[in-house]
Amino acid sequence: MSNAPRITLPAWIDIGVIPVVNILMALVAAGAVILIIGEDPIQAVQVMIQGAVGYDEGIGYTLYYTTNFIFTGLAVSMAFHAGLFNIGGEGQAYFGGLGIGLAVLALDGGAPGFLIVPIAIAAGALFGAGWAFIPAYLQAYRGSHIVITTIMFNFIAAALMVYLLAGVMRESGNMSPETREFASVSFLPFMHEVFAWFGVTITRTPLNLSILWALLCCVFVYVFIWRTRWGYALRTVGQSERAAVYAGISPPRIVLMAMCLSGALAGFVGVNELLGVQHRLLLNFSAGYGFTGIAVALMGRNHPVGIVLASLLFGLLYQGGAELAFEMPTITKEMVVALQGLVILFSGALAYMSRPWVERLYLMARGGAERRAA
Amino acid sequence: MDDTFLLVVRTLDATLRVATPLIFCAMAGLYSERSGIVDIGLEGKMLAGAFAAATVAALTGSAWLALGAAVLISMSLALLHGFACITHRGDHVVSGVAINILVAGLTIVLGNAWFRQGGQTPSLPADARFMSMDFPGAEAMSEIPLIGQIYAELISGHNLLVYAGLAAVPLTAWVVYKTRFGLRLRAVGENPAAVDTAGISVVWLRYRAVMICGVLTGLAGTYLAIAQNAGFSRDMTAGQGYIALAALIFGKWRPWLAFGACLIFGLLDAVSIRMQGVELPGIGEVPVQAIQALPYVLTVVLLAGFIGKAVAPKAIGQPYVKER
């Protein structure tokens, strides 16, 4: 690593302080934008927080967005651990949705729900993994760069889905590019329905059982990466391919494994969006969640716990941003997209910019403490 | 027969129009990537340039001021990319992605706040744009078959930026292959340590490369917003920055080959519009989406090494650390 630290900072500064400093810089930059367009950033933050967590419905929506970001954030981080940059989360999520749609449309005529849902989830994983497999294979065995091929595959997926949904798969008589509605046996229960089973009434929101699946995936990713030999091999390849070869690990196979798992995780966006909320396959349901996954993974430092926290923050921003656009019409909801860019910039590309200052502050503080002790 | 010929000429004419932003961006990417800086951010810089051009043209009514603003904005984003990648040795791809996403959001937010048209800028009058120029005698020549038609339809009747785009290719080829700067540029992308040993600043050389990249993407944006169209609309680049990147790779990071790739991809675009609903003998109707996806598919196939081999500059994407 060229960015090797010059001094060792205590872990709490490295994982606690520096990421927070980076995010604060992004937030300050976003605040400057809001000032430029003549609005009050403090008021904007208040509106966003109120809109995202100030009332029941807001919280439901926040958690529903969070679910998507956990899936795509985990997907990006899985590839990152193997030293790969998967920009194709968007296309893999989209294609995974196709798998889910095909599975449900084929089965919902007669099969029971407890059969359809797992098959659909597996189909989403399979299709997402399949869409990641080709770029992974080309990277592993033909030496073509994964960043470029996954970008190309995003566009190919988009073109393919337009073709399918505007033509072959469109419901006859329906003008909008979407399939027929799935039969209700395939629906994942909404959380307000789940709570109603136990006699608890909560507000109706799009939040559904997928969030539990997302949390399970976090546990799976944690165990897989840090507690299995495959995860060990994956991290070894990510750190040093030569060391991996020396240890008898085959990097091409690890590349395939990491990318397929990454694609499968991205494919689960369809579980939340299609089985949970939309109940049909429709155009652009992935809505940029794949790209947000990059910001989430960078911010969450590729650790499941960090990813859940970062996903919560982005869920809050998405829901709060929608509310903000409603309350302060000068600010559109794309402000969140801009902020996302700033987060990627400050906690990704410029991640080490704040380090020298933090180091100096830390040394000064420690020096002061030592003097006092003496 | 005559009609077919005219159709071909007109298709080529349309090709040139849609290929111009690709040519600017591919040349922009060439400078950057040949110096070792990966540029995923062509799309974002072009979009920012387009927004700046449309905004300034709407406010001042001057196409030239608009061009200046677009170049300035795209260049500052290029410098930001340089700051992250060269000075702070950040990940090139992450920085490029950040710029693309930032610009995609910011242009809509600012556009909506300033013009209140849902992210669009006001429609521009002709004198605030770069309009097509008819060459002398084009009208009279159009009566003459073949040569006259080519002259009138294909060569004459474009706006200034189309010709500038065409000029950028030989200029880039000359700079990269025939000047001292070009030699050093290529060297720094292959082996920065050697360049450093020769007493040339790697950092300054790479900064110059990304600045040139910024200027050219600014021109691409200007073309989109105030020459090809009469204003900015949200996400108006629609992935063309990525197509240009694909063209650059398809052209193996060489100016003339990249230019050829831009023309092929432009042609595919021009043809896909005409092909809508046309039945081909033996194949049937080709879906428009298939033609639209073809540049991406072709690039993947090339990268996979099935048609020739595209070899990137050796030191691309690696931060240069002087002396450890």
Mutate to test the interface with A, among B94, B243, B318 (most CBs of A within 10 A): B94
- CA-based nearest residue in chain B for residue A164: B289
Is B320 contained in some domain? Answer: no
Q: Which residues of A250-267 are buried (b: 16+ CB within 10 A; e: fewer)?
A: ebeebbbbbbbbbbbbbb
Rounded average pLDDT over A58-79: 95
| A144, A159, A334: residue with CB nearest B293 | A159
Who has greater pLDDT, B281 or A98?
A98
Residue B69 contacts residue B51 (beta carbons within 8 Å): no
A26 close to B (CB below 8 A): no
A77 close to B (CB below 8 A): no
Q: What is the pLDDT of residue B179?
A: 95
Q: How many CB atoms lie within 10 A of CB A328?
A: 18
Q: What is the pLDDT of residue B323?
A: 67
Determine what percent of chain A is predicted with pLDDT higher than 70: 98
Burial of B145 (0-12, 13-18, 19+ CB in 10 A): exposed
Rounded average pLDDT over A300-307: 93
| Interacting residues of A183 by C-beta distance below 8 A, sequence separation 6+ | A104, A108, A109
Write out the residue range of the structural domain in which residue B39 sits. Answer: 2-131+139-303
- CA-based nearest residue in chain A for residue B115: A330
Taking an 8 Å cut-off on Cβ atoms, the answer to whether A334 and B109 are in contact is yes
Mutate to test the interface with A, among B81, B101, B321 (most CBs of A within 10 A): B101
A-chain residues near B249 (CB < 8 A):
148
Taking an 8 Å cut-off on Cβ atoms, the answer to whether B304 and A142 are in contact is yes
pLDDT band at A235 (very low <50, low <70, confident <90, very high): very high
pLDDT band at A155 (very low <50, low <70, confident <90, very high): very high
Is B324 contained in some domain? Answer: no
How many independent structural domains does chain B possess? 1
Is B155 contained in some domain? Answer: yes
Is B208 contained in some domain? Answer: yes
Is B297 contained in some domain? Answer: yes
Q: What is the pLDDT of residue B324?
A: 53
A-chain residues near B84 (CB < 8 A):
345, 349-350
Mutate to test the interface with A, among B51, B85, B97 (most CBs of A within 10 A): B97
As for the ipTM of the complex, it is: 0.88
Task: Give the CATH number of the domain where residue B275 resides.
Answer: 1.10.3470
| Interacting residues of B296 by C-beta distance below 8 A, sequence separation 6+ | A152, A153, A155, A156, A159, B243, B246
Could you give all domains of chain A from N- to C-terminal order, each with its CATH number? Answer: 29-369 (1.10.3470)
pLDDT tens figures, B165-224: 999 999 999 999 999 999 999 999 999 999 999 999 999 999 999 999 999 999 999 999
pLDDT tens figures, A322-362: 888 888 888 888 888 898 899 889 988 888 888 888 888 88
Taking an 8 Å cut-off on Cβ atoms, the answer to whether A144 and B242 are in contact is no
Residue B212 contacts residue B59 (beta carbons within 8 Å): no
Is B321 contained in some domain? Answer: no
Which of the residue ranges A6-15, A72-81, A273-282 would you say has the lowest mean pLDDT? A6-15
Q: Which of A247, A131, A4 has the alpha carbon at shortest distance from B321?
A: A4
Measured between alpha carbons, how far is B63 from B320 in angstroms, rounded to an integer? 40
Who has greater pLDDT, A181 or A11?
A181
Q: What is the pLDDT of residue B292?
A: 83
109-168 in chain A: CB under 8 A from chain B? 134-135, 138, 142-145, 147-149, 151-153, 155-156, 159-160, 162-163, 167
Rounded average pLDDT over A131-145: 90
Taking an 8 Å cut-off on Cβ atoms, the answer to whether A349 and B90 are in contact is yes
Residue A315 CA, distance from chain mean position = 10
Residue B230 contacts residue B159 (beta carbons within 8 Å): no
B-chain residues near A339 (CB < 8 A):
105
Q: Which residues of B221-235 are buried (b: 16+ CB within 10 A; e: fewer)?
A: bbbbbbbbbbbbbbe
A199 close to B (CB below 8 A): no
Q: What is the pLDDT of residue A299?
A: 86
A201 close to B (CB below 8 A): no
* Mean residue pLDDT across chain B: 87
Rounded average pLDDT over B159-170: 92
The predicted model scores a pTM of 0.89
Q: What is the pLDDT of residue A154?
A: 94
- CA-based nearest residue in chain A for residue B98: A341
Determine what percent of chain B is predicted with pLDDT higher than 70: 94
Is B299 contained in some domain? Answer: yes
Q: What is the pLDDT of residue A1?
A: 37
Is B83 contained in some domain? Answer: yes
pLDDT tens figures, B19-58: 999 999 999 999 999 999 999 999 999 999 999 999 999 9
Determine what percent of chain B is predicted with pLDDT higher than 90: 50
> What single DSSP character describes residue A185?
G
Who has greater pLDDT, B74 or A11?
B74
Give the number of A-B residue pairs with CB atoms closer than 8 Å.
159
Q: What is the pLDDT of residue A6?
A: 57
Rounded average pLDDT over A235-245: 93
DSSP H or E run through A334 = none
Q: How many CA atoms lie within 13 A of A174 on its CB side?
A: 16
| A2, A155, A294: residue with CB nearest B97 | A294
Q: What is the pLDDT of residue A2?
A: 42
